[in-house]
Chain A
Amino acid sequence: MSRYKDAVYGLCLGFLRNRADAEDLTHDAFIRAYDNLRRYHLDKRFSTWIFTIAANLCRNRLRYRRNHPVVEPPTHLAGGTDPANIIAKEDRQKRVQDSLNSLPYAYRAPLVLRFYNDLSYREIGEILAIPEGTVKTRIHRAKAMLKGLIEKDVMQHETG
């Protein structure tokens, strides 16, 4: 598989939490990369460059969504929904997915770039146009928020 395709798609999916949008924007990111090739410098990693394009597209799409809300039924991106059929790992993944959906974009984006795209703090800062220190802080807080959301979900599941 192409490393770029999966990496860009994973970024878009992580940022947007919507498969159709992620697919559209992966396509658009590669086309946009072509359209903006003259801005690409070889001293920059190609991956960082295309991730920046994808991240900007995602941010614009999220802004558009905010101004043009569409009521969609809540869906899980993976796994079954019947607790009887869910193995522990899938159950845990579903909880993470739900929690990721609830996490604000400003915290979700660096988390995805760090733990899906395996990027350094510096690269994440470059892509999201924020200082490296802010990246570290947001990732730290995002993990704490995610942990809180997951634990809350577990408690609700157990008491409900």
Chain B
Amino acid sequence: MRPDEIEEVLRDTLRHEVAEATPRLADLEERIVAELGDRLPRLRFVDWMRSLVASTQSGRVGQLAVLGATAAVFLIVGMVITQDRSGGSILTPTFAPTVASHTSQEVLFVVPALDAERVAVVGDFNAWEETPLSDENEDGIWTASIPLDPGRYEYAFVIDGRWWGQDPSADEYVRTFGQYSSVRYVGGGGDGV
């Protein structure tokens, strides 16, 4: 057996083993999402996941349901990555602009969008003009770091032209003209980001 033949048969074998187990893994995302969702009721996690699936227009509903569930897990990942908060500030932001430092800080926006081709964030910090997020290593996790002065900011993601107003990493949500936007508090005595 040649060395490259070993490599080929090894690849085939391992892929075959995983392919065989695929039916057993069908509900894995659901179980993970359910467990994480239970920990984070504030985020209406499952609702978000459903909205992700429902808003997709293509016919690949089953596949996208799986992707949506997985993306939800990774949105949680993104959420916590962006959090650098202490205490209960997430639930009860106590932003005080008059006493806050005016030094701007890099605020990280993270969203998983595994199949997306274009992701942007729009908000009052950029006059609702799109600031693109990037996914340089193509792992489906899109990020943008934007310098912001302390304050309250409304924003939303735009994923392949679709509005994503409920970022689970937001401090709160607002609804205007029937559409949700997220709110992030930056700075302000240790609250927010």
Q: List chain A positions with a Cβ less than 8 A from chain B.
A: 1-6, 9-10, 13-14, 19, 22-23, 26-27, 30-31, 33-34, 37-38, 40, 42, 45-47, 77-78, 89, 92-93, 96-97, 100, 111-112, 115-116, 143, 146-147, 150-151
Contacts and interface: CB of A to CB of B under 8 A. Distances in A.
B73 A30 contact: yes
Contacts of B47: none
Interface of B: 1, 3, 6-7, 9-18, 20-22, 24-25, 28-29, 31-32, 35-36, 63, 66-67, 70, 73-74, 76-77, 80-81, 108, 110, 114, 137, 139-141, 143
Contact of A5 (B16, B70, B110, B137): B70
Contact of A27 (B6, B28, B66, B110): B28
Instruction: Give the interface SS of chain A, mostly helix, strand, loop or mixed.
Output: helix
Contact of A151 (B1, B3, B22, B74): B1
Contact of B17 (A13, A27, A30): A13
Contacts of A97: 13, 17
A115 B25 contact: no
A115 B114 contact: no
Contacts of B10: 96, 100, 111, 115-116, 146
